[in-house]
Amino acid sequence: MKHLREELWFKTPHRRDYVNITEQVEGLVRKSGVRNGLCLVNAMHITASVYINDAEQGLIEDYDDWLEKLAPHEPVSHYRHNRTGEDNGDAHLKRQIMGREVVVAITDGELDFGPWEQVYYAEFDGRRKKRVLVKIIGE
């Protein structure tokens, strides 16, 4: 069994940002030499998500509006978590909607994707350095 482990680092400019990381993950699959296996991509921080959906700017803005409606940032006093001195209570909730991780099949040395699948890093409490883990196993 082959395996590869790498981190991707981000420091996004805004509190919330959506970064297409598909090419970086594809590069790691090639680097791993795995022809058939599984590729796990997960946020290592608990106020961010990794998800798969469309690389379409209108949709990304729809997601952002919708998440802000389901778990608004303001008033920060609404969240008990923010009594710890944080202001990111909403980010912990948004991340549960969008998910922590994706698991993608590797077939013939490539991410085995449908026509529109793209991997995104979704940041809900940015402007500081945070990481994504890529773990690949297979042969």
* Contact positions vs a second copy (CB under 8 A): 1, 3, 5, 36-38, 40, 42-46, 51-54, 56-59, 61-63, 66, 70-71, 79-84, 89, 92-93, 95-105, 107, 112-117, 131, 133, 135, 137-139
Q: How far is the CB of 83 from a second copy (least distance, A)?
A: 6
Phi, psi (degrees; rounded to nearest 5) at 64: -65, -45
Strands 118-123 and 48-53: antiparallel
Q: Give the residue with the Cβ less far from a second copy, 20 or 36.
A: 36
DSSP the chain: -EEEEEEEEE--SSSSEEEE-HHHHHHHHHHHT-SEEEEEEEESSTTEEEEEE---HHHHHHHHHHHHHHS-S--GGG-GGGGGT-S-HHHHHHHHHH-SEEEEEEETTEE---TT-EEEEEESS-SS-EEEEEEEEE-
Q: Give the residue with the Cβ less far from a second copy, 15 or 60.
A: 60
Q: How far is the CB of 47 from a second copy (least distance, A)?
A: 9
Q: How far is the CB of 53 from a second copy (least distance, A)?
A: 5
Q: How far is the CB of 27 from a second copy (least distance, A)?
A: 18
